[in-house]
Amino acid sequence: MALYRMVLSGVFLIVTCLTINNGFAADLKIGVMNVQKIIVSCDAGKEAKTRFEQKMKDLQDSFKEEENALKELQDEIKKKSSAWSEEKKAEKIRVFQKNGRELQAKTEDARFEMKQLQDKELEPILKALEKVVDTFGLENGYSAIMDSKGGVIYFDKKIDISDAIVQKLNEAMAKK
């Protein structure tokens, strides 16, 4: 509840600052951007997406044969199990389960590989974006630039109140 009040107070403060016609309000300039849209729309992002999709297709194609073999074995078990001995039926089920676990493990490995590829592809774009936003914010006189989905991307160091908050938090925690 206290956090809610703090957020509400912060929003009230920003609105107040924006509506007051003094020097501070006149200098306050806030921009909003959508990082996800920027990444998907930029040339490097499009190229990364193409590479990512190709790798995904290659991995899916590599699993297709195993998936088909597993499906065929499952169909065979359904159709013929009543004619098999208990030993043969149990053996086929063990093989099916083993192959299923192996395919699942390979799928998990592929998912991990895709996550690493995504991180590798995005890292240079995000680093460049950070520098571009910092430069853009500075050159265009922004006090803060926020991600429409996440939070503050750039802010003028003059409006950073972190040290003051740390001091107040330390004081509050010392009282307990």
pLDDT tens digit string along 135-167? 888 888 888 888 877 777 777 777 766 676 666
Q: Would the pLDDT of 6 be above 60?
A: no
Q: Quick one: pLDDT band at residue 123, thresholds 50, 70, 90?
A: very high
Mean pLDDT of 21-46: 77
What pTM value is reported for the model? 0.61
Q: How far apart are CA 122 and CA 116, in angstroms?
A: 10
Q: Which amino acid is at 9?
A: S
- For residue 33, the SS3 value is strand
pLDDT confidence bin for 116, thresholds 50/70/90: very high
**Does 37 have pLDDT greater than 70?**
yes
DSSP state of 1: -
Residue 18 — pLDDT band, cuts 50, 70, 90?
low
Q: Are 147 and 39 in contact (CB under 8 A)?
A: no
pLDDT reported for residue 91: 92
Per-residue pLDDT at 119: 93
